[in-house]
């Protein structure tokens, strides 16, 4: 068992799979010699060779395009998109091709690809280094979308994603790379040391895609969160002294409906958190699911706490980010009512 941060855990997952399976290839912008702008692939080229971990042209569409072709030819490519904000040139290759290949060929060809990409704000990245576009992918049948919130899950989910025979979008909350984040930018930065989810087993293990993790248990309210917001939820509920079920969804598609409904049926109250823009965010789907399945248990309207319906501004980072104040207001309001 080692103490790893999320970058190291991701690198470790890649290393484990590359060592086990020569069909696993890692590529993307600056991932080769340099090891990636967030260092997630550092050392992999040196260890596994230039042909297994290499730089690509700056062409997200091309990167996913070759991945589809390689996958159809028996490999398990793990391409990186440098920032999720730059994934859109690859949108067609992901949504029309990778996600559809199995269906349109009725299983004749498949695309087992794992697309890694950093998401979310909190690092003054502004409009084009802070986006959380998960909802643009959860609408795509044929694709899976996962997002870890800690080193343990990051490694286990990434290995599971690589071994999955369908394309998986693997979102990495960049604000969590080096430590959990309470949502308060003025508090001293934490690292993963001392956090039990920073304890990462060596070698191979998986975390099943589609299963949520219970971060804390309580009867007062259910909080559905993923990525960075998991830690904001934890900090706020602890500070408020609220007994909350905090569910870290981990996998957005497929989603863990059973855990969600069990919890909401118990608490009768639900707050959904995400960094992404509100309208048509993944919170909308969660809200719809909760009221469809727990209607008679609900004691207050399901609340969404999200980023605003604006691009992610630079100087106003903390006014945009759904931080502790916004979360606290929502929890209070959902607990006050009825």
Partner 1 sequence: MARKPSNNRSRLHVPEPPFRPGDTPDYSHISVPADHTPVRPDPLCDPHETSEHALKLIRVLRFSGEAVGDWKPDLSAEQLRNALKSLMMTRAMDERMFNMQRQGKMSFYMKSTGEEAVSVGHAMALNNSDMIFPTYRQQGILIHRGASIKEMMCQCLSNAGDPLDGKSIPVLYSFKKHGFFSISGNLGTQLIQGVGWGMASAYKNSDEIASVFTGEGATAEGDFHYALNFASTYRAPCIINVVNNQWAISSFQGIAAGEGETFAARGTGYGLATLRVDGNDLLAVYAATKWAAERARNGGGATLIEHFTYRKAGHSTSDDPTKYRPENEPEVWPFGDPIERLKIHLIHLKEWDEARHEALAEECKTRIREIYKDAESMGNLAGDTQVNDYTMFEQVYEHAPDHIDAQRKMFEAESD
Ligand X SMILES: Cc1ncc(C[n+]2csc(CCOP(=O)(O)OP(=O)(O)O)c2C)c(N)n1
- Residues 25-84 touching a second copy, rule: CB under 8 A, are 61
Site string for ligand X, 111-150 (x = CB under 6 A): ----------------------------------------
Contact 230, 188 (CB under 8 A): no
- Residues 271-290 touching partner 1, rule: CB under 8 A, are 278-279
Cα dist from 248 to 145, 151, 256, 302, whole Å: 14, 13, 10, 17
Among residues 50, 58, 288, 329, the one that binds ligand X under rule CB under 6 A: 58
Hey, is 286 helix, strand or coil? Answer: helix
142 binds a second copy (CB under 8 A): yes
Q: Rank residues 19 and 128 by Cβ distance to ligand X and give the closer one.
A: 128
Hey, is 323 helix, strand or coil? Answer: coil
Q: Least distance to a second copy from the beta carbon of 88, Å?
A: 4
Overall size of the chain counted in residues: 338
Cα dist from 81 to 3, 117, 268, whole Å: 26, 5, 39
CB count, 10 Å around CB of 178? Answer: 15
Residue 112: alpha-carbon gap to chain centroid:
18
Active site (annotated) includes residue 51: no
Contact 176, 248 (CB under 8 A): no
59 closest CA partner among 79, 36, 89: 89
86 binds ligand X (CB under 6 A): yes
Strand order in 303-307's β-sheet? Answer: 213-216, 244-248, 221-225, 270-277, 303-307
Pick one of a second copy, partner 1, ligand X, none as the site partner of residue 117 (Cβ within 5 to 8 A by kind): none
Among residues 50, 187, 189, 214, the one that binds partner 1 under rule CB under 8 A: 50
Contact 224, 249 (CB under 8 A): yes
267 binds a second copy (CB under 8 A): no
Q: Least distance to ligand X from the beta carbon of 92, Å?
A: 8
337 binds partner 1 (CB under 8 A): no
100 binds partner 1 (CB under 8 A): yes
Among residues 56, 149, 259, 267, the one that binds partner 1 under rule CB under 8 A: 56
CB count, 10 Å around CB of 329? Answer: 12
Q: Rank residues 83 and 321 by Cβ distance to ligand X and give the closer one.
A: 83
212 closest CA partner among 221, 202, 204, 222: 222
Alpha helix stretches (DSSP H) within the chain? 6-20, 44-48, 60-72, 91-92, 101-104, 135-138, 151-163, 228-240, 257-267, 282-294, 317-320, 324-336
Which of 129, 139, 204, 274 does the annotation list as catalytic? Answer: 129
- Residues 82-101 touching a second copy, rule: CB under 8 A, are 85, 88-89, 91-92, 95-96, 100
Cα dist from 131 to 95, 306, 316, whole Å: 18, 12, 14
Q: Rank residues 15 and 29 by Cβ distance to ligand X and give the closer one.
A: 29
Stretch that binds partner 1, among 6-14, 123-131, 198-206, 229-237 (CB under 8 A): 123-131
Q: Which two tokens stand for residue 319?
A: 């006014």
Q: Rank residues 12 and 85 by Cβ distance to a second copy and give the closer one.
A: 85
139 binds a second copy (CB under 8 A): yes
> What is the distance between the alpha carbons of residues 77 and 265, in angstroms, rounded to a whole number?
41
292 binds partner 1 (CB under 8 A): no
Q: Rank residues 125 and 322 by Cβ distance to ligand X and give the closer one.
A: 125
82 binds ligand X (CB under 6 A): yes
Give residues in contact with a second copy (CB under 8 A): 61, 85, 88-89, 91-92, 95-96, 100, 103-104, 127-128, 133, 135-136, 138-142, 253, 276-277, 279-285, 287-288, 291-292, 295, 298, 300-304, 308-311
Give residues in contact with ligand X (CB under 6 A): 29, 58, 82, 86
Q: List active site positions.
A: 129
């Amino acid at each position: 068992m080692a103490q790893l941060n999320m970058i190291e855990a991701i690198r470790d997952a890649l290393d484990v799979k590359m060592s086990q399976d020569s069909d696993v290839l890692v590529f993307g912008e600056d991932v080769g010699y340099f090891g990636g702008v967030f260092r997630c692939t550092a050392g992999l080229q040196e260890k596994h060779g230039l042909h297994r971990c290499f730089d690509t042209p700056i062409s997200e569409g091309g990167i996913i395009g070759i991945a589809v072709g390689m996958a159809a030819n028996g490999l398990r490519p793990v391409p990186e998109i440098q920032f999720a904000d730059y994934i859109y040139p690859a949108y067609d290759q992901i949504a029309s091709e990778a996600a559809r290949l199995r269906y349109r060929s009725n299983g004749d060809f498949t695309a087992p690809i794992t697309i890694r990409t950093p998401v979310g704000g909190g690092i003054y990245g502004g409009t084009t280094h802070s986006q959380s576009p998960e909802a643009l992918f959860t609408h795509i049948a044929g694709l899976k979308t996962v997002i870890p919130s800690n080193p343990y899950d990051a490694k286990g989910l990434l290995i599971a994603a690589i071994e999955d025979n369908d394309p998986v979008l693997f979102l990495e909350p960049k604000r969590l790379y080096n430590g959990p984040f309470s949502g308060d930018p003025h508090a001293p930065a934490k690292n993963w040391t001392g956090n039990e989810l920073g304890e990462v087993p060596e070698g191979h293990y998986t975390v099943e895609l589609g299963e949520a993790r219970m971060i804390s248990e309580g009867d007062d309210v259910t909080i559905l969160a993923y990525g960075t917001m998991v830690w904001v939820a934890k900090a706020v509920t602890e500070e408020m002294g609220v007994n909350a079920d905090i569910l870290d969804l981990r996998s957005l598609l497929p989603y863990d409906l059973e855990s969600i409904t069990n919890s909401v049926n118990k608490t009768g109250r639900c707050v959904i958190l995400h960094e992404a823009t509100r309208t048509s965010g993944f919170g909308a789907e969660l809200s719809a699911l909760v009221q469809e399945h727990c209607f008679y248990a609900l004691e207050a309207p399901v609340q969404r706490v999200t980023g605003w319906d604006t691009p992610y501004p630079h100087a106003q980072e903390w006014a945009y980010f759904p931080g502790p104040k916004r979360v606290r207001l929502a929890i209070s309001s959902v607990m006050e009512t009825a």
